Amino acid sequence: MKAKLAAVLIGLSALPLGAQTTATTAGADFDAERARLVEEQKAIDARYLTEQKACYQRFAVESCLQDSRHRRRTATDDVKRQQAAINDFERKRRGAAELEKLEQQNASQKSREADAQREQSLKSQREREQRAAEHAASREQAAAQEAENRRQFENRQREHAQQQADAAKRKAEAPAARAEYDEKLKKAAEHRAELERKNAARDKPRSAPLPDPGAAAPAPKSP
């Protein structure tokens, strides 16, 4: 059993710290090893007491006791070395587990940060595209409004020019129109006068016809 534990500990010492956690759990049951070492220490202590009692039955008591103490110390030191090795690897295993947990947390945090950054980039891109679309629509609306304003201005200019042309034409035609109007009034007056004259002549009584100068005078009637 000692040889197996020693081989496991030697193999673990050659592994990186991160790999020792899995290898330690898979290759050795440290709780069972601790229990075994406790029992081994009890056996060492019990054997030491037995040897001490036996030494007092011998002639060279002190020499026997020294040998017994030496054997006990050697065996106890071996047990302590094994316990220290187990404790050391247990500490390394816990440290590796904590390190692995921290690395996983860091990786998860980095992943979340990368996702958040990617989402923020997409959001910024969408906002830029929205602003560009709004600017384009605003430019189109401004261009359309400018074209409408220009069309209305040109219409007003044409209307004004037409009004000026009409006014100039009326001004130029005014004397002729006045003369034509005056002529129409004159003809109308003459027409009325002619009608009045004809009406007056038709309504006047007819007088007796004048005698014919070439005709003979009638003979006077006798009384």
Full DSSP string of 104-115: HHHHHHHHHHHH
Residues found in the chain: 223
Show me where the domains of the chain are located: 2-115
> Residue 170 and residue 177: Cα distance in Å, rounded?
9
Q: What is the pLDDT of residue 95?
A: 94
Residues 87-121: tens digit of each pLDDT:
999 999 999 999 999 999 999 899 999 999 999 99
The two structure tokens encoding residue 60: 């060279």
Q: CA geometry: angle at 94 spanning 92 and 96, to 5°?
A: 65
Residues 194-211: tens digit of each pLDDT:
888 888 887 766 555 556
Instruction: Report the range out of 13-27, 37-51, 162-176, 179-193 with the highest average pLDDT.
Output: 37-51
Is the Cβ–Cβ distance between 22 and 98 less than 8 Å? no
Residues 55-83: tens digit of each pLDDT:
998 888 899 999 999 999 999 999 999 99
> Residue 201 and residue 182: Cα distance in Å, rounded?
28
The residue among 21, 203, 208 whose CA lies nearest residue 99 is: 21
Span 3-17, average pLDDT: 48
Q: CA geometry: angle at 211 spanning 206 and 212, to 5°?
A: 125
